[in-house]
Chain A
Amino acid sequence: MDTPLELTLEELRERIQAAGVTIPDHRLGMVRRLLSDALVHVRALDSRTIKTVEPAVTFVPAGGARHE
């Protein structure tokens, strides 16, 4: 089944429980909208159609890694 683009209130409550944080009921609507507005683009994405391979990490001979 496809994931709905909107974050449902039920899913939000599940995420809150999994994360072990406390968000009062009167702020759930605000948090749901905040996340939904951003998530809608990720959920609409077919990840296989994106050509970029980032995020990536590059390494240099002297050692150390850098996230690009």
Chain B
Amino acid sequence: MSDAIAYATIRELGARYRTRELSPVEVTRALLARIEKLDPVLHAFVTLTADRALADARAAEEALRRGDARPLLGVPIAHKDIYLTKGIRTTGGSALLADWVPDQESTCGRRWQEAGTVLLGKLITHEFAMGLQFPGHRFAPARNPWNVAHIPGGSSSGSGAALAAGLVHGATGSDTGGSIRGPAAFCGIVGLKPTYGRSSRAGVLTLSWTLDHTGPMARTVEDCALLLQPLAGHDPLDPASSRAPVDDYTASLGRDVRGVRIGVVRNYFFEGIDPEVERAFEEAMATLRRLGADVRDVTIPSLAATHSFLLILLAEAYAYHERDLRAHPELYGDVLRERFLAGALVTAAEYVQAQRIRSQICDETAAALVGVDVLATPTTPRPATPFAQAHDPDFGFPRSNMPPFNITGSPTLALPCGFSSSGLPISLQLAGRPFEEGTVLRVGHAYEQATPWHTRRPPV
């Protein structure tokens, strides 16, 4: 299969399906062959659903013959393996659930299925969306297609690796402290963490109820917008699901950014930053200025206390896992088990104080977003981490640029903005006001179309 098909955008695929230049079955067979060839090294997939994919593709072909115009019809996708799939095993990247076959489907999975997508399989995730698999684990960790000695980021590690390697055209991710945006950044792709409540968590394994988000990952901003569209909207099965009206997310793409106010958050996000990342970020701001945006500096002082969010995450994760941790501790990965157990050591008062700090960060971020339309930061302070470092148990849980927007629930986009001298991707993070996904997508799209980064391919 040519790279042109493996890396085609969703719009290009749809256009070629409708002119009969390509068929969903042909593309699906080609991707299955590409997965067979590349995945033994990348380990992006934990379960391949070839029969289901071909059945979905045949149904899409039939629908195309009837003139069905749905934009995601016949688009090959895969789900992060914390999304429950009816009749297909869902491991959570864990030995505990290694053979679990759910009898229900996640809301997101059902909505993409109803949109006509082709399910290629399930993508490896860091164990329970939190712990990188160490050597000896039941499941191998995914590897970064740009350099297989580096992690692809996590926890949506398989999603990032599969998209970068041209194995799928869209994937689900989840994001509690950066798990959509981190892999997007490390793999040179695009990830959107929608507003908290915009995309349902029903039928998705929990990490932390008040921080978990679901959302799409893709290779371009427009693909992300197309994939978000069916995910957005109220779901009675998720108590946090919002009834806010759903925008047309592709409607604002292509509009220029003249006069759009972009706030560069100068505190917190630049501490310990790699000079190459900082340079790429500043060049991205210069590009946005050239496109007509009004780029200015802002500060959000309370972000200094961001890392307190970990108390919320650990306490909620322990509440979710307590029974299994006590009954089957040996089925949790090394290091992850102790991280989850740390949640048992957070006092109630500390949890409440962390939530109060969170409210302060939310208030200050909302105030900053009165004066500007979008906040801009580097997505990660450094490019992808080598496995040798990530597999050091003492590597810990480093301070990160992504949790501030899990704390605030803001819609946040990560997209490529350059490469390091060692050839690893660098990423730009854009955050907007609640339910203004359209604005961050518009700014991201304008930047993307003015730069070449999304057209580069990894050496796989």
CB nearest neighbor in B for A27: B338
| Residues from chain B with Cβ under 8 Å of A30 in the complex | 335, 338, 393-394, 396
Nearest-Cβ distance from residue A34 to partner chain B, whole angstroms: 5
- In contact, B311 and A54 (Cβ under 8 angstroms): no
Cross-chain contact B341 with A31 (CB below 8 angstroms): yes
* Structural contact, B339 and A42, CB atoms closer than 8 A: no
Residues of chain A with a CB closer than 8 A to B286's CB: none
Cβ-based interface call for B267 (8 A): no
- Asked whether B356 lies within 8 Å of A23 as measured between CB atoms, the reply is no
Interface size on A, residues (CB 8 A): 30
Given contacts A27-B393, A33-B396, contact A41 B344 (CB under 8 A): no
* Chief secondary structure at chain A's binding surface: helix
Contact flags (1/0) for A23-38 with B, using CB distance below 8 Å? Answer: 1100101110111011
Q: Which residues of A contact B352 (CB under 8 A)?
A: 55
Specify which chain B residues have a CB less than 8 angstroms from the CB of A35 in the assembled complex: 311, 314, 342, 345-346
Which of A12, A40, A44 contacts B345 (CB under 8 A)? Answer: A12
Instruction: Give the docked Cα–Cα distance between A37 and B342 (Å).
Output: 12
With both beta carbons as reference points, the residue of chain A lying nearest to B347 in the complex is identified as: A15
- Contact A47 B356, beta carbon cutoff 8 Å: yes
Within 8 A of B (CB), among A5-59: 12, 15-16, 19-24, 27, 29-31, 33-35, 37-42, 44-45, 47, 50-52, 54-55
Question: Are A16 and B357 CB-contacts (below 8 A) given A34-B310, A55-B352?
Answer: no
Q: Which of B311, B338, B363 contacts A38 (CB 8 A)?
A: B311
How many residue pairs, one in A and one in B, have C-beta atoms under 8 Å apart? 95
Number of interface residues of B (CB under 8 A): 35
A50-B310 contact in complex given A16-B345, A35-B342, A39-B350, C-beta closer than 8 Å:
no
State how many angstroms separate the Cβ of A16 from the closest Cβ of chain B: 7
A55→B306 CA distance, assembly (Å): 17
Q: Are A45 and B357 in contact (CB under 8 A)?
A: yes
Query: What's the Cα separation between A16 and B338 when bound, in Å?
Result: 11
**B359 in contact with A52 (CB, 8 Å):** yes
Pick the contact of A50 from B329, B356, B397, B399 — CB < 8 Å? B356
Q: In the bound complex, what is the Cα–Cα distance between A35 and B306 (angstroms)?
A: 13
- B window 353-394: CB within 8 A of A: 353-360, 363, 393-394
B342 contacts A52, C-beta separation under 8 Å: no
Q: List A contacts of B252 (CB < 8 A).
A: none
Does B33 belong to the interface (CB within 8 Å)?
A: no
Asked whether any CB of chain A lies closer than 8 Å to the CB of B16, the reply is no
Task: Choose from A22, A34, A55 the contact partner of B342 (Cβ within 8 Å).
Answer: A34
Please give me the residue from chain A that is nearest to B394 by CB atom.
A30
A47 CA / B270 CA spacing, docked (Å): 28
**B353 near A45 (CB under 8 angstroms)?**
yes
The answer to whether residues A54 and B359 also contact, given A12-B345, A19-B344 and a CB cut-off of 8 A, is: yes
A50 in contact with B345 given A34-B397, A55-B355 (CB within 8 Å): no
B307 in the interface (beta carbon within 8 A): yes
A30 CA / B12 CA spacing, docked (Å): 48
A9 CB, min distance to chain B CBs, angstroms: 13
Which chain B residue shows the least CB distance to A49?
Answer: B360
Taking the nearest CB of chain A, how far is it from the CB of B197, in angstroms? 12
A54-68: which residues lie under 8 A (CB-CB) from chain B?
54-55
28 contacts between A and B (CB under 8 A): A19-B345, A20-B344, A21-B325, A21-B345, A23-B341, A23-B342, A30-B335, A33-B394, A33-B396, A34-B310, A34-B397, A35-B311, A35-B314, A35-B346, A37-B397, A38-B307, A38-B311, A38-B354, A39-B311, A40-B307, A41-B357, A44-B305, A47-B356, A50-B360, A54-B356, A54-B358, A54-B359, A55-B352
Q: Given contact pairs A35-B311, A38-B307, A52-B363, enumerate 16 new A-B contacts (beta carbons under 8 Å).
A: A16-B345, A21-B325, A21-B345, A23-B338, A29-B394, A34-B342, A35-B346, A37-B396, A37-B399, A38-B314, A42-B357, A45-B357, A50-B356, A51-B360, A54-B356, A54-B358
